[in-house]
A = this chain, B = another copy of it.
Amino acid sequence: MKGNVLVIHGGGPTPVINASLYGVLEEAKENGNIEKVYGALGGTQGVLNEDFVDLMKIPEEEKERLLFTPASVIGSSRFALEEEDYEKMPAIFRKYGIRFVLLNGGNGTMDTCGKISRVCGQDIKVVGIPKTIDNDIAVTDHTPGYGSAARYLAGTVKEVSEDVRSLPIHVCVIEAMGRNAGWLTAASVLARKDKGDAPHLIYLPERPFDEEEFLEDVREVYDRLGYAVVVASEGLKNKDGEPIVEPVFKTERAVYYGDVGSYLATLVIRRLGIKARSEKPGICGRASIPWQSETDRREAILAGREALRAALEGESGVMIGFKRVGTEDGGYETATFRVPIEEVMMYEKKLPETYINDRGNDITDEFAKWCRPLIGGELPQYICLKDYEKEEKR
């Protein structure tokens, strides 16, 4: 099949969203039937405004930098589209000779992808490239973007924990992104080398948060070690399903809540009288190139390639998914497959119960085993003084 390609990005960026774009460009170059690979500037709004760039014009020697450029080089959007917006699209695609439309995003973007595929005729193929740091897309084992954000969080929690341990005067609460699903928060468990290492407590949005239990937990760790490192999801909710933090502002369209990390640190200070502080890396985590996971980058490139390949083979209304395929030595290996888009549209995949401990303040080994290969190699190991180095008292 001949025709031009259009790539549209939706939602928040990841450290490897541009790597998927790179994969599309590589696949298009090798295919030979593609003249242009357009990028829609600023997501779906860029389609409606016909703001397109021709990414084939990026010089070959520059292209590699896509792999190490954070955010989305073609921009992104979060606009909710109206029925009439969708109906305008096929004509725009045809005007620019676009026969292959690839949408890169999370479950909201996959919803858009499904809707665009429905309004397009047989001549235009629409395929989804999965992307989210939240890892909450259904069916696929995991999603490009998650491994890098997980590596960032685990690596950063490990660094911060070393700091807090070396000046052990306080409780440190690190707030993790992921408002409804705890996948990213849970990845902080990989900061641990040995049992008992920081982070000592991990709280997820999947479990109702009980402030009294939290204070008991913190008190116990602090009394034992003289410090405590806590990782808390930004989306913690109480037993009634309400966010544990007060809304700071409400508009007709949205409610803005306070910071969970800061709230919990203040709670520790006020109720336990223990010095506490919070860190909220937030966007720093989803934009971090130094902590990019090699595995994640490789799979993001592959997702881009496979999406274009599926479209070229005539598939439409599907998303590229990843599944694990066993290797003889038990190592990590994945294969891609094509997921009917209906199965992922707007569905939010939560962390399974078996990944959370009974008390809801820690993560199981089963999760760690699942997550470890995704972060692309061991975290840096630090020097640790040994007992034999201690001097006998005189």
Choice from B38, B39, B65, B164 contacting A283 with Cβ under 8 Å: B164
Please name all residues of chain B whose beta carbon is closer than 8 Å to the beta carbon of A249 when the two chains form the complex: 266, 269-270
CA distance A268 to B68 in the complex (A): 32
Bitwise interface map of A from 61 to 91 toward B, beta carbon under 8 Å scored 1, else 0: 0110110111111111110000000000000
B65 and A382: CB pair below 8 A? yes
Instruction: Give residues 339-394 of A contacting B (CB, 8 Å).
Output: 380-386, 388-391, 393-394
Please name all residues of chain B whose beta carbon is closer than 8 Å to the beta carbon of A159 when the two chains form the complex: 70-71, 284, 287-289
Nearest chain B CB to A101 CB, angstrom units:
15
Whether A278 is near chain B, meaning CB under 8 Å from some CB there, is yes
Nearest chain B CB to A306 CB, angstrom units:
23
Chain copies in the assembled complex: 2
CA distance A391 to B57 in the complex (A): 11
Whether A335 is near chain B, meaning CB under 8 Å from some CB there, is no
Bitwise interface map of A from 281 to 302 toward B, beta carbon under 8 Å scored 1, else 0: 1111011111100000000000
CA distance A359 to B180 in the complex (A): 42
B156 and A74: CB pair below 8 A? no
A283 and B69: CB pair below 8 A? no
Nearest chain B CB to A185 CB, angstrom units:
16
Please name all residues of chain B whose beta carbon is closer than 8 Å to the beta carbon of A386 when the two chains form the complex: 57
Nearest chain B CB to A261 CB, angstrom units:
8
CB nearest to A251 among chain B residues: B273
Please name all residues of chain B whose beta carbon is closer than 8 Å to the beta carbon of A164 when the two chains form the complex: 71, 283
The stretch from A26-34, A48-56, A136-144, A217-225 touching chain B is A48-56
Nearest chain B CB to A33 CB, angstrom units:
19
CB nearest to A36 among chain B residues: B391
CA distance A162 to B283 in the complex (A): 10
CA distance A165 to B70 in the complex (A): 11
CB nearest to A62 among chain B residues: B383
Whether A166 is near chain B, meaning CB under 8 Å from some CB there, is yes
B284 and A55: CB pair below 8 A? no
Nearest chain B CB to A341 CB, angstrom units:
23
Please name all residues of chain B whose beta carbon is closer than 8 Å to the beta carbon of A384 when the two chains form the complex: 73
Tally A residues with Cβ within 8 Å of B. Answer: 86
- With contacts A249-B270, A251-B273 known, is A163 near B71, CB below 8 A? yes
Please name all residues of chain B whose beta carbon is closer than 8 Å to the beta carbon of A162 when the two chains form the complex: 69-71, 287
A266 and B284: CB pair below 8 A? no
A55 and B389: CB pair below 8 A? yes
Please name all residues of chain B whose beta carbon is closer than 8 Å to the beta carbon of A73 when the two chains form the complex: 166, 382-385
Choice from B281, B283, B389 contacting A54 with Cβ under 8 Å: B389
Instruction: Give residues 158-199 of A contacting B (CB, 8 Å).
Output: 159-160, 162-169, 172
B167 and A72: CB pair below 8 A? yes
Whether A132 is near chain B, meaning CB under 8 Å from some CB there, is no
B65 and A287: CB pair below 8 A? no
A286 and B163: CB pair below 8 A? yes
Whether A95 is near chain B, meaning CB under 8 Å from some CB there, is yes
A280 and B283: CB pair below 8 A? no
* Apart from A53-B385, A55-B389, A251-B273: 11 A-B pairs, beta carbons within 8 A: A66-B383, A70-B163, A72-B166, A72-B167, A73-B382, A73-B384, A74-B385, A76-B166, A254-B275, A256-B269, A262-B262
Counting from the closest, the 7 A-B pairs by CB-CB distance are A290-B290, A71-B162, A159-B287, A69-B382, A71-B166, A279-B282, A52-B391
Sample (25) of A-B pairs whose CB atoms are under 8 Å apart: A13-B166, A18-B383, A53-B385, A54-B391, A58-B385, A65-B382, A68-B380, A70-B162, A71-B159, A73-B382, A74-B166, A76-B166, A77-B167, A78-B167, A96-B391, A156-B287, A163-B287, A249-B269, A256-B269, A259-B262, A259-B278, A278-B280, A279-B284, A281-B284, A284-B284
